[in-house]
Structure 1
């Protein structure tokens, strides 16, 4: 579980995050949504420790990340898996070596243990046959699956996904959503997804936080979001063709 409590963040005198609190529980897909420039990415970077909050706390299963010493922070970071917006694979490494990279840096496994773990993770995302290919030789959707395999290779407890469906066609995006959802439940991960993709929200949004101008305006889930009251959220939702169509079918 990840708890964020009263997070504040200011850049050059401008408040970007104001008193943000939320609880992201394990075993469900937690989503942070909102239009561009609302503070979603800043919040994500603050949660994972790339930014220091001006006030507030980020707790990983009760451990305060920003007040921990370097050793404790390193332990927490080793429990975090990241799926980046552009997959962020190393072009010069094979698929298998991309997945293996965190093990080389952070683990004390033997080479054979690393091989077994890499093979297991690639099989879990359906890419065992692509192990020896280069990133340039596989599709964008396959690259995202490699990114997921790399994110879980360290037996991560926390999974962060930054716009995981960016640049993907609808069918491939749906497959990535389902894979993230399955892995979250299968391994009881605390998964946090930053997204503006309403297809994803309506498919897998088990907890949803809506942000507007650095504030948390609403929280709920995919079953309650269409009836949400805040005008800012309704404007955001019904500017989206998918949501207009879905609402019309009810």
Structure 2
């Protein structure tokens, strides 16, 4: 579980996040949604330590991440897996090397154990026998699955995904959503996904935080979102529907 309490973040004189609280539970797909520029990616970067909040608390299973000493921060960071927008694979490394990278950097695991673990997670994301292929030789959807494999190869307790469906066609997006949901439940990971994709929201949104105008304007699940009573959220949902309709006609 990750608890965010009264998180505030500004850049110079511009407040991006103002007193936001949320609880992301273990074994659930937790989503942060909002319009472009709403601060959802800034919130994610604060949670994982890429930005330091102006005020507030971030607790990983009760452990204070912001004020942690170096050893505790290192311990928590080793428990975090990241799926970056676009996959962010190393072009000069093959699939096996990309997935093994966190084990090389963060562990002293013997090489044969590393390879066993790499093959296990590649099988889990249905990419067996792709070890020696280069990122340029596989599709965008496969690259995202390699990214997921890399994010969980170190037995991560927390999985963060920044726009995991960016650049993917609708069918591939659905498969990525399903895979994230399956892995979250199977491994009981605390998964936090930043997205603007309403298909993802409706398919895997077990807990959803909607951010707008620097604040948390709504929280709930996919069953409740169509009846939120929040105008900004209704506008966001409507805009997404119109965008999907436009794309289907183009």
- Matched residue, 2:173: 173
Name the SS of the counterpart of 1:239 in structure 2.
helix
- Matched residue, 1:192: 192
Distance 1:24 1:236 in 2: 22
Residues 161-240 of structure 1: pairs in structure 2 closer than 5 A = 161-240=161-240
Name the SS of the counterpart of 1:98 in structure 2.
helix
The Cα of 1:108 is off from its aligned counterpart by: 1.1
Name the SS of the counterpart of 2:81 in structure 1.
strand
Residue 142 (structure 1) aligned with residue 133 (structure 2): no
Is the 2:197–2:240 Cα contact (8 Å) retained in structure 1? Answer: no
Is the 1:177–1:200 Cα contact (8 Å) retained in structure 2? Answer: yes
Moved over 6 A (4+): 242-245
Residues 214, 30 of structure 1: alpha-carbon distance in 2 compared, 3 angstrom cutoff: same
Which range is displaced more, 104-113 or 236-245?
236-245
RMSD of the TM alignment (CA)?
1.2
Is the 1:34–1:40 Cα contact (8 Å) retained in structure 2? Answer: yes
Is the 1:160–1:193 Cα contact (8 Å) retained in structure 2? Answer: yes
Name the SS of the counterpart of 2:21 in structure 1.
strand
User: 1:107-150, CA deviations, whole angstroms, 9 ceiling, x for partnerless residues?
Assistant: 11001100100000100001112111000000000000000000
User: 1:66-88, CA deviations, whole angstroms, 9 ceiling, x for partnerless residues?
Assistant: 10011110010000000001100
Kindly tell me the number of residue pairs found equivalent between the two proteins.
Answer: 245
The Cα of 1:243 is off from its aligned counterpart by: 10
The Cα of 1:103 is off from its aligned counterpart by: 0.3
Distance 1:242 1:190 in 2: 32
Residues 117, 137 of structure 1: alpha-carbon distance in 2 compared, 3 angstrom cutoff: same
Residue 159 (structure 1) aligned with residue 159 (structure 2): yes
User: 1:190-229, CA deviations, whole angstroms, 9 ceiling, x for partnerless residues?
Assistant: 0000000001001110000000021100000000000011
Distance 2:53 2:240 in 1: 32
The Cα of 1:162 is off from its aligned counterpart by: 0.2
Question: TM-score when scaled to structure 1?
Answer: 0.96
- Structure 1: runs of 5+ lacking an equivalent: 246-250
Distance 1:235 1:127 in 2: 39
The Cα of 1:240 is off from its aligned counterpart by: 2.3
The Cα of 1:167 is off from its aligned counterpart by: 0.2
Distance 2:120 2:72 in 1: 28
- Matched residue, 1:42: 42
Distance 1:243 1:14 in 2: 29
- Matched residue, 1:248: none
Is the 1:99–1:149 Cα contact (8 Å) retained in structure 2? Answer: yes
Question: TM-score when scaled to structure 2?
Answer: 0.96
